[in-house]
Structure 1
């Protein structure tokens, strides 16, 4: 499995999967923008520093989680009596990518089990985020992003499994960075654009197309690659 394909898959999963994120993260971005002073909210130029710092915080949390998962995966694969742990890792990440596509397309909601598990941890972290509200400064938005990056989300968890199979802390961090960058366009525009965009992105046909794209990437992982 080439690293480029894996990183590109993570980026595409972030890009098309952020359609699904709108329901969850959209509320948070709404909360962030609604707590800002009127003069900031009414000007997209003034809003940009807040949206950028919030998203830098969120993606930083993804990278930290990816580094941890990559490191744990590398340690774990050394302990397993497998001849080629990379092949096993490839199969696991491919299958997870397909599950992720089915989840985004609303065909199969198995990843909600992961979200339920994560919600226990989230109950411990969530009160920290409230300390940064109402947001009056971009640094507070950064802090809010760092905390809200741990919000339980099947999409994030699926890419974290990807990171777990990446075989190193560095690769795990890179994967989550690629995924985070993929989610940026949707979350940056959402902080500023009207409600119609959210409604469009949540249409079943849009989710199905996005899910189908991610499934294709999952299947591509199983194709033989030439190094």
Structure 2
């Protein structure tokens, strides 16, 4: 089940390109503004995204470790099952949002805004970015941008009940988001036009929702 979870989380990150474009497009544009084309641009973009993924992994380790400690004090199986159900319901909600069929997930993103309001000024101080080391720090801050897709993945990390597994799940998610966000820094306009096409959004959203529904059915069959 966990190995399947890695692929599901990876694909959710990969297919969530439309959401990534909306949430992170402005930040990517600001971070890459006036950077010359070529090797330096790629180094900067890789550093940004390495920092962002590192933040995801840290969150996964923390939540998985927290769950590991909590489950040792509770009846572990029912509690973990409840978390897995919640994580997959979130995945379904995110798929419906990506498809343009529901906006319920947006309310969840409001929960992270107070933290982001404190971190955003720190990110602004790092601009303009000219070195990979500075880009890495900016990426680590960027990783805490309120995002329903990230929150869905972190619930899976929490439901894993293990610090290491939680970190690996978030690494899989971060790697899934990497192609979209790397290309966004180089082909922003072209990628935006393609991802925002109605058929593309609908297909991606239905695939994400379908993965969440399939995992829910697996949980029911295993219960």
Q: State whether TM-score is above 0.5.
A: yes
Q: State the Cα RMSD in Å.
A: 1.8
1:89-104 matches, cutoff 5 A: 89-104=83-98
1:111-150 matches, cutoff 5 A: 111-150=105-144
TM-score of the aligned structures, taking structure 1 as reference length: 0.90
Measured against aligned partners, the alpha-carbon deviations of 1:108-145 in whole angstroms (never above 9, x if no partner) come to 22221121110111111111111211111111111110
The range that moved more, 73-82 or 90-99, is 73-82
Q: For 2:194, which of 175, 191, 200 is the aligned residue?
A: 200
Measured against aligned partners, the alpha-carbon deviations of 1:31-79 in whole angstroms (never above 9, x if no partner) come to 111053xxxx2x2333110000010000001111111111122223333
Rounded Cα–Cα distance in structure 2 between residues aligned with 1:69 and 1:83: 17
Runs of 4+ in 1 over 4 A off after TM superposition: none
1:181-192 matches, cutoff 5 A: 181-192=175-186
1:43-58 matches, cutoff 5 A: 43-58=37-52
SS of alignment partner, residue 106 of structure 1 = coil
1:1-227 matches, cutoff 5 A: 2-36=1-35, 41=36, 43-81=37-75, 84-224=78-218
The range that moved more, 66-75 or 83-92, is 83-92
Rounded Cα–Cα distance in structure 2 between residues aligned with 1:173 and 1:50: 24
Rounded Cα–Cα distance in structure 2 between residues aligned with 1:177 and 1:120: 25
Which structure 2 segments of 5+ residues have no match?
A: none
TM-score of the aligned structures, taking structure 2 as reference length: 0.92
Change (3 A) 1:83 1:189: closer
Count of paired positions:
220
Residue 92 (structure 1) shift: 2.2
